[in-house]
Amino acid sequence: MIDDAPASQALFDRARRVIPGGVSSPVRAFNAVGGTPRFIARAEGPYLIDADGRRLVDLVCSWGPMLLGHAHPQVIEAVGAAAARGTSYGTPTEPEVALAEEITARMPVERVRFTSSGTEATMSAIRLARGATGRDVVVKFAGCYHGHVDSLLASAGSGLATFAVPGTPGVPESSTALTLVLPYHDRDAVAAAFAEHGDRIACLITEAAPGNMGVITPDPGFNAFLAQTCREHGALFISDEVMTGFRASAQGYWGLESHEGWTPDLFTFGKVMGGGFPAAAFGGRADLMEQLAPLGPIYQAGTLSGNPVATTAGLATLQLATPEVYAHLDRVATTIKDAASAALAAAGVAHQVASAGTMFSIFLTDAPVRDFAGAQRTDVAAYGAFFHAMLEAGVYLPPSAFEAWFVSAAHDDDAVQVVLDALPGAAAAAARAQQGGAA
Ligand code: PLP
C-alpha cells in the first residue's frame, strides 16, 4: 500500500488528538482497509479533492446522499438563499411543507415527520409502531443496519426465535431483549418467529434492499412475503428506505417492487432527501402517523427537525431528480459494475456483483451472496488491496468491503473513464493479495 497523503496524515494526527479515532463515524477511519483516511477539502460534480490537492472520482457520494453530484449549482443556489434568510427558527416553515408534499407525491405515504438523521427516523418509526399496536417486540434481519438505535444494535440470540443480545458494549441487555434478529431471506425463520411471538410483535423492520452488508438483491416476492406475514399477525411492516429511497429508483426500492401489490405501513427516509444536509423522515398512513404528538399520545420531537436549509436542499435535490437522472445513474452503474466484473474475471478473482436499482456492490467471494453469512465470506484482504490500488489511480471506493457503491448524475464520461482505467490494475492487486503476494 502506498500512502502518500502528507496533508491528510497531518490532519489525521491532529484529529486523533481531539476526536476518537480521528473520525465522526467509524467507517471513515479506513480501519477495514488500512492506511490513512483522506481528508476532503472540497468536492465538485463527481470528484472529491483531498487535502493534498488530489482529485478522486467519488464512488461513495457521502454514502448515498449526493445523487446529483457535489455542489450542484442549483442546489447550492437554493441553499445559499435559504441560509441568508436564517438557518433555523424552531417554527414551521414553507420548505418543510414543500418537501413533505414532494415525498408524499412520490411515495405511498400520507403523512411525513422530519428528523435530523436516519437513526432518529427508524427509532421514531419503531416507537410509533409500538405505540400504535400496543406491542413491544421488534423483528430485524442480521446485517441490515438501521442506524445506531440501541434496540437495533443487536446480534441474533442462540436460536432463531430467541431474543437478541447487545451488538456493542454500552447497549444494555434490556434494550435488545425485545428484538428478534433473523437471517435475511430466511422465510422459515420469519414464519417460526411469528408463530412463536406473533401476538407480541409490534413491527418488522427491514432495509427495502439491504445495502449495509454490501448490496443484496431481495428475492422477488420476499418483501411482499414480509408485508403479508406482518399483516396476518397484526404487526406493522417498516420499510427502511434511508439508503434506497430516491436513490435505487425515483421511488426508492419500493418503486421497483410496487407491481408486487404491497405497501409498507411505515417508511423511513434519509440521505438523498436531505440533499447532503442532516435531514431524514418517517412516514406512512394518516391513521398511524396522526397518533404522533401533538395530535396523538406518542411523543416524538427534534430541535432541528425540518430545518429550513436542510429541507430546501432536499427539495431542490428531489425536484432535479428526474427520470433522466435515474436513467443516467443506471447506465453509469452498469458500465462500472460490468467493467469491474470483467477486470476481476480477467485477473482470476472470484466475485459476485449485486444490485438494487442504481446501487451496487462487488463481493470478492465465489458464492452468490444472499445474507449476512454469505457477505462475510468476502475476501476483505483482497478488497483492501483493490481499494488502495483504485485510490492510487484516483478513485475513491467505500473503505470497507461491506458497503454499496454509489454514482451520481454528475458522473460523466471522463469520470467513468478514470474508473475504467483503474480497474485492471486494482483487480491484479486483489489477485496478488489472494496469492499471498504484496498488494
Ligand atoms: N437506515 C439505513 C438503511 C441506513 O443505511 C442508515 C445509514 O447508513 C441509517 C438507517 C441511519 O442513518 P443515519 O446515519 O443518518 O443516522
Domain boundaries, the chain: 6-67+322-434, 73-320
Question: Which band of pLDDT confidence, cut at 50, 70 and 90, is reported for residue 34?
Answer: very high
In tens, the pLDDT along 252-276 reads 999 999 999 999 999 999 999 999 9
Catalytic annotation, residues: 145, 240, 271
| Predicted pLDDT of residue 116 | 98
| Cα atoms in the Cβ-side hemisphere of radius 13 Å centred on 108 | 14
Is 307 near ligand 1, meaning CB less than 6 Å away?
no
Using the atom order of ligand 1, give the atom closest to the CA of residue 122: 10
Distance (Å) from CA 242 to ligand 1 centroid: 6
Confidence of residue 158 (pLDDT cuts 50, 70, 90): confident
Q: Find out whether the beta carbon of 215 lies less than 6 Å from any atom of ligand 1.
A: no
What architecture is the 73-320 domain classified under in CATH? 3-Layer(aba) Sandwich (3.40)
Q: How many CB atoms lie within 10 A of CB 26?
A: 12
For strands 395-396 and 201-207, give the pairing.
unpaired
Average pLDDT over the chain reads: 96
Q: Which fold has domain 6-67+322-434?
A: Aspartate Aminotransferase, domain 1 (3.90.1150)
Kindly state the average pLDDT of the residues 62-88.
98
CA of residue 307 to ligand 1 center, whole Å: 19
pLDDT value at 411 more than 80: yes
CA distance between the termini of the chain? 7
Is 122 a pocket residue for ligand 1 (Cβ < 6 Å)? yes
* 436 Cα: distance to centroid of ligand 1 (angstroms): 35
Position 1 scores a pLDDT of 61
Grid coordinates representing 271?
A: 440521505
Report pLDDT digits (tens) over 125-142: 999 999 999 999 999 999
pLDDT, position 178: 96
The finding on whether 317 has its CB within 6 A of some atom of ligand 1 is no
Q: If you search the block for the grid coordinates 475504467, which residue do you land on?
A: 420
- Best CA proximity match to 129, nearest among 283, 233, 231, 235: 235
Residue 280 near ligand 1, beta carbon < 6 Å = yes
Minimum-distance ligand 1 atom for the alpha carbon of 144: 3
The atom of ligand 1 lying closest to the CA of 207 is 3
Q: Give the mean pLDDT of 14-18.
A: 98
Please work out whether the CB of residue 106 comes within 6 Å of at least one atom of ligand 1. no
Q: CB count, 10 Å around CB of 64?
A: 24
The mean-pLDDT minimum among 77-86, 167-176, 333-342 falls in 167-176
In angstroms, the Cα distances linking 278 to 91, 103, 143, 220, 236 are: 17, 16, 24, 33, 27
* Residue whose CA is at the smallest distance from ligand 1 atom 12: 118
- Quote the pLDDT of residue 156: 85
**206: Cβ below 6 Å to ligand 1?**
no
Percent of the chain with pLDDT over 70: 99
Q: What is the pLDDT of residue 437?
A: 58
365 CB near ligand 1 (under 6 Å): no
For residue 280, report the distance from its CA to the centre of ligand 1, in Å.
9
Give the CA distances from residue 359 to residues 125, 169, 176, in Å, rounded to whole numbers and listed in that order.
24, 32, 30
Closest listed residue to residue 265, CA positions, set 57, 416, 107, 118: 107
Going from the Cα of 211 to the center of ligand 1, the distance in angstroms, rounded, reads 10
Window from 139-153, 274-288, 424-438 with minimum mean pLDDT: 424-438
pLDDT tens, residue by residue, 220-237:
999 999 999 999 999 999
Mutate to test the pocket of ligand 1, among 27, 66, 146 (most ligand atoms within 8 A of CB): 146
Mean pLDDT of 66-91: 98
> For residues 199 and 207, is the Cβ–Cβ distance under 8 A?
no
Q: What is the pLDDT of residue 113?
A: 98
pLDDT of residue 185: 98
Nearest CA to ligand 1 atom 1: 146
Atom of ligand 1 nearest to the CA of 212: 5
**Mean of pLDDT values over 36-57:** 98
How long a stretch of residues is the chain?
439
Distance 271 CA to ligand 1 centre (A): 8
Position of cell 402517523? 289
pLDDT at 439 over 50: no
The answer, yes or no, to whether any atom of ligand 1 lies below 6 A from the CB of 273, is: no
Phi (first) and psi of residue 113, to 5 degrees: -120, 130
In the 3-class helix/strand/coil scheme, how is 220-268 assigned residue by residue?
A: CCHHHHHHHHHHHCCCEEEEEECCCCCCCCCCHHHHHHHHHCCCCCEEE
**CA 146 to ligand 1 center in whole angstroms:** 5
Nearest atom in ligand 1 to 241's CA: 3
Average pLDDT, integer, range 154-170: 87
Q: Label residue 185 left, alpha or beta by phi (over 0 means left) and psi (-120 to 50 means alpha).
A: left
pLDDT tens digits, 167-204: 999 999 999 999 999 999 999 999 999 999 999 999 99
Q: What is the pLDDT of residue 2?
A: 59
With a cut of 70, say whether residue 321 has pLDDT above it.
Answer: yes
Cβ 239 under 6 angstroms from ligand 1: no
**Cα 215 from Cα 207, distance rounded (Å):** 10
